Structure 1
Amino acid sequence: MAEKPCAPVFRDVRVTFTRYLSLSQKKGYSMVYSHNAPFRADVVGSYLRPAELKAAREDFAAGKIDAAALKAVEDKAITELVAKQKAAGLHVITDGEFRRGWWHFDFMWGFNGVDHAAAAHRVAFHDEVTPADTATVTGRISGENHPFVEHFKFVKQFEDENTVARQTMPSPAQTRFVLTGNAAAYPYDEFYKNDDELTADIVAAYRQVIADLYAAGCRNVQFDDCTWTRLCDASVRERLGWSDEDALRLQQENLDVINAVISDQPDDLVINTHVCRGNFHSTWLSSGGYAPVAAKLFGEENVDAYYLEFDDDRSGDFAPLAEVSGDKKVVLGLITSKKPDLEDPDTIKARIQEAAQYIPLDRLCLSTQCGFASTQEGNKLTEDQQWAKIALVQSIAKDVWGE
């Protein structure tokens, strides 16, 4: 199915938040902690799955336990995880993505009109390939009754005077990339005349889910996104057959679909994004600095903050941060989640000061470079090493910003 510029289809895509604002006020939802993300010491959101949870997911897949039994194990694991996040001094709590197998597909599968399918090709990471899963269009897409809303409500109950609950999800550009990219193997001509129609429904579905999350008290949404960094890697572009013109068009399409979802959201809803180069079992997908996409990504994407990978040479230098517009913030992912060895604090502090040459220090924060388990397999480190990484983030942030 031919790709086309998608901006015009967004002009009439609107989902009103009036009734949701009214509902949230009636239910008494408010931000318990007085600040919202990003935080000086922050995380991306996924954590290593405990052995009990992994075993339960395997038993469920094998038909040995039912959905209720799996949920009971998930609830217990998430409750314990939240307690650990609070004990670590974090201001943000998540469910660790414990109810998911994938950072992105599970969210896509939660839409009406999107289902699980076997991937025609496994994604080739450095040294490994992923399981053969993907998401395909099986009907008109909509966002009503998305399961992630109930997932968020479970975490919301644990907010306190020191913490804010975060809901992570793949960016709208990521979902569009997956669904349009699967059109050759899984055509959706039966449901959509062209990619523009599909994109309009993706936007409306995201806005519906975010509206429902807002009504449930969510004030912190994070878009996780691997689409931009594919455009920074010449070898990936060559493998996918993208010309320079294709790359420019895809940047604009990414920007249009993301900004259409963000447009006219409530003022107290923070929407940030994590820009990722792939995170599967401590391996990576793409390389290259942010320069090829900086003008569009940093200058025109209307998020509140960027969580950016800067943990090794694959991420390039800090110069593209000069393109960050307005008062948007940048969370420097300088502590790797892929390896167990702890970074030298003085080296990290020096790199923060280097980044401050391009964006003021008071608009910078520090985090791990990615989550610890973007898929249920998790990265190659232990839970103790995971928490040691977070303690290092906390310690350095306190030394640099005094908070």
Structure 2
Amino acid sequence: MTKKYFEHVGSFLRPEELKIARAQFAAGEISQEELTAIEDRLITELVDKQVAVGLEKITDGEFRRANWHVDFFWGFEGIERSQYGEGLHFAGVETNDDSAIVTGKISFNKATHPFIQHYRFIKQLADERGVEAKLTIPAPAQCLIELQRGSNLEKALAVYPNPADLAQDLAAAYRQAILAFYDEGARTIQLDDCTWGAIMDDAFFQSVIKGVDKDFLRENFLRINNAAIVDLPEDLQINTHVCRGNYQSTYLTSGSYTPVAETLFGRENATAYFLEYDNDRSGGFEPLAEFKNPDKVAVLGLVTTKDGKLEDKEQLIARIKEASQHIPLEQLWLATQCGFASTEEGNILTDEDQWNKLKLVKEVIDEVWG
């Protein structure tokens, strides 16, 4: 049975000082060295707060990123930053239009990808405090769908006339990156993944993903994710977070896990699955029956990060018991539904709110699992 830890999905609200510093850097008012010094100090303060609340696996809060996903893509050789022209349309709000395009053959270079240095810094802080530094990165399927989104597809096809070659190179680059992080000491790497939501949400699929067979998409997502995490060291744990979108307290997709449960829960080679279950948009717990491998863990995201209202502890425990009717309790765990700031704008709650949410998660874990 996989050992379970008190850990957060990943991101934390950015301090105002950090937002100001990043804006000053973008405007050319401060240097990269000055920005990095501010980031280093604020990440150190964040780590100490995580340790104080009891987290056993800590992150850098994604403080060096503007976006949870494309910032990582830009570090690969053959992928460059671009502006798409319009953002993604969440419920009532549009995101920024940062995107990523293929400009050459895709590969990973440890010397040039900035996340290597980022991880070295958080790893040192974690080692000094006797906790583990978890790395959160977007899933390979997430990168693939971005590189092929709308007008980006034409640029991808110019380099990769055969889309299968693009997927193959991307999976290989991801695997090299994962092994490079392992060499730096990473033992838990989390693949954040919104792609499955496109299949779960019929309305979103019909309006955005046009002309693609759902079965093909399911298998394509599974194939590239598994190709990136094949034959890894036994002491490296691969987690995944299945997200429905998290931008300024809004969402992108809805729907039950049923359409993807057999593929995702049964056949993706992840260990712990952080699943959004904070409201009715995620459907019921019945799909959890597809967790047939006893070494896999379903981490119930029952505590929302989208607002500051604190959940009722007894209701959370009741929902965990309800879920245990479909999957053994020893394969269940608890976390927040997502990070608190998947982009630098952050969700609509306070710094105090986010720490109270994590304290509640810890209280329930201790009461239910001991």
Q: What is the letter of the counterpart of residue 207 of structure 1?
A: R
Q: What is the letter of the counterpart of residue 280 of structure 1?
A: Y
Q: Tell me the equivalent position of 2:70.
A: 105
**Residues 109-188 of structure 1 aligned to structure 2 (within 5 Å):** 109-145=74-110, 146-160=113-127, 162-184=130-152, 186-188=154-156
Q: CA deviation at 1:37?
A: 6.7
CA contact (8 A) 1:289 1:316 kept: yes
CA contact (8 A) 2:276 2:337 kept: yes
CA contact (8 A) 1:136 1:186 kept: no
Deviations 1:78-134 (Å, cap 9, x if unpaired)? 100000000000101100000000000000011111111111432000010001111
| Runs of 4 or more consecutive aligned structure 1 residues displaced over 6 Å after TM superposition | none
- Normalised by the length of structure 1, the TM-score is 0.88
Count of matched residue pairs: 366
Identity of aligned residues (%): 49
**SS of residue matched to 1:96:** coil
Deviations 1:334-382 (Å, cap 9, x if unpaired)? 0000010000000000000111111111111100000000000000001
CA contact (8 A) 2:70 2:100 kept: yes
Does residue 84 in structure 1 map to residue 52 in structure 2? no
CA RMSD of aligned residues (A): 1.5
Does residue 393 in structure 1 map to residue 358 in structure 2? no
Q: What is the letter of the counterpart of residue 307 of structure 1?
A: F
2:358 and 2:152 map into 1 onto residues whose CA distance is 42
Q: Tell me the equivalent position of 2:302.
A: 334
1:174 and 1:205 map into 2 onto residues whose CA distance is 14
1:182 and 1:314 map into 2 onto residues whose CA distance is 26
Structure 1 gap ranges (5+)? 1-34
Q: CA deviation at 1:36?
A: 8.1
Structure 1 residues 318-327 or 367-376, which shifts more?
Answer: 318-327
Q: What is the letter of the counterpart of residue 344 of structure 1?
A: D
Q: CA deviation at 1:188?
A: 3.0
**SS of residue matched to 1:256:** helix
Q: Tell me the equivalent position of 2:244.
A: 277
Q: Tell me the equivalent position of 1:264.
A: 231
Q: What is the letter of the counterpart of residue 227 of structure 2?
A: A
Q: Tell me the equivalent position of 1:307.
A: 274
Structure 1 residues 190-199 or 280-289, which shifts more?
Answer: 190-199
Q: CA deviation at 1:186?
A: 4.8
2:156 and 2:305 map into 1 onto residues whose CA distance is 37
Q: Tell me the equivalent position of 1:5.
A: none
Q: Tell me the equivalent position of 1:209.
A: 177
Q: Tell me the equivalent position of 1:191.
A: 159
Compare relative contact order (CA 8 Å, sep 6+) and give the higher one, 1 or 2. Answer: 1
1:87 and 1:385 map into 2 onto residues whose CA distance is 15
Does residue 367 in structure 1 map to residue 332 in structure 2? no
CA contact (8 A) 1:166 1:220 kept: yes
- Normalised by the length of structure 2, the TM-score is 0.96
CA contact (8 A) 1:37 1:270 kept: no
**Residues 241-252 of structure 1 aligned to structure 2 (within 5 Å):** 241-242=209-210, 246-252=213-219
CA contact (8 A) 1:38 1:331 kept: no
